[in-house]
Structure 1
Amino acid sequence: MEIRGGYTNYGQHIGVLMLDTAFPRLPGDIGNAASFDFAVKFKVVKGALPQLVNNKDPAEALLPLFVKAARELESEGARAITTSCGLLASFQSELSAAVSVPVFTSTLMLVPLCWQLTGTKKPVGIMTIRKSSLTDRQCRGAGWSQNDIPVCIMGMDSRKHFTEVYADNGKLLNLETLEGEVREASVKMMADHPEIGSIVLECTNLAPFSQLIRQASGRPVFGMNDLLQFIHRCVAGF
């Protein structure tokens, strides 16, 4: 049996392009290696601060930095590449064209699937870090449009502690406070839009609270960890 080499490290099939952050990352967060039962390879994109990405138009000046980092991950053996922020769906086309391995920038790519799964008369709920930041630009980057698929968007921007930690890059996190804010947002979203059939977590920092959101909403919840594990099963072993 012949085994081909060419890399220094092996077994890290998924490469993760990380924003340049300092906030705590809970188990379940894409930036916490303990979130997965397999190894992932992290690469911090220096200068890609949350404040530059969490707006309507992620700074175009960041794109070359992400392209460079994606190519480095590929050269180091990554067989698929993702990101730590779903709003980077804006860069999906450019990043996937820059490398020869699969790229999945965002859980927004799951929205058409979720819409079909629960019946096309039911909108998909999307939870995001800031409602005004999620525009049709990111949706089109993920392969669909809000003109074609009905969505109900819940931003976490009115939740003080969540914003302090994840949008403002705070270094101190209170778990109980975050849980309360996420629960309240989930309940409010369903009260405002009881017709929602499923929920997609655009913000990867919401992934540690997936089960809490399922319980509070009574709906299926899809996050980046679910997508990442699926892609890992598809690319590992060849």
Structure 2
Amino acid sequence: MTSESSLMLLPTLFSLKGKTIVVTGAARGLGLAQSLALIEAGATVHALDLLPSSTLLSPPPGYNYHSINILSPSLGPLINSLGPIHGCIAAAGINQETPALSYTEEDFSRMMAVNVTGVFMTCQAVARVMVKYGTRGSMVVIASMSGSIANRGLICSAYNASKGAVKQLAKNLASEWGPEHGIRVNSISPGYIVTDMVEQLLATKPERRQEWADQNMLKRLSKPEEFSGAAVFLLSEASSFMTGADLVIDGGHSAW
């Protein structure tokens, strides 16, 4: 195959036309930005989030919103009702900055429940539908560079532990579901992203905007839209031989 013919295939490789994708945490922030990118690539997206409605004022065709707690027993039946599913992004998560000596068992358990158990239950529900319909699909779980490093000046031991668990979860699900069902599972580890929730934090601690930017090689913070290409790549045939991997997108923060 010539290089010219390979280039001609690129639009097809990245196309998600006819694909149905489930995205959790998709009412705003990273999950919403990635949902819109998937729709632009041709997918139908079922956006799941705890908020009663999406923050989108004019949802595009292909964006279907479902208000649900990912820890609810109704998660599985909802996902099963959607028909054949070709992929998912498990982006729902929470953070809490608390010194380790002050962390309560209740808060720690909640962090693990949402960030780890919620991701697992989402992937399990989607995988069951894939197996039911014989779909060889792809899953993406949102981890974090914080799953591999200790953040300088940010006190979030429970969050970092949960994201480390998510990375390991992706590898193990890939090892289970790949050989028999052809289901790929990868993780994305973002650096600092300026979302609505982060903006609220920066409003109380504005010095962190520059401090965090200075800690990476690009000297700036990222926007949710900068992870859209990774979502399309991992859910499309462009990454057909990629599974059990972690895609680090942190501006070089953890490469020092």
Fold match, TM over 0.5? no
TM-score with structure 1 setting the length: 0.41
TM-score with structure 2 setting the length: 0.39
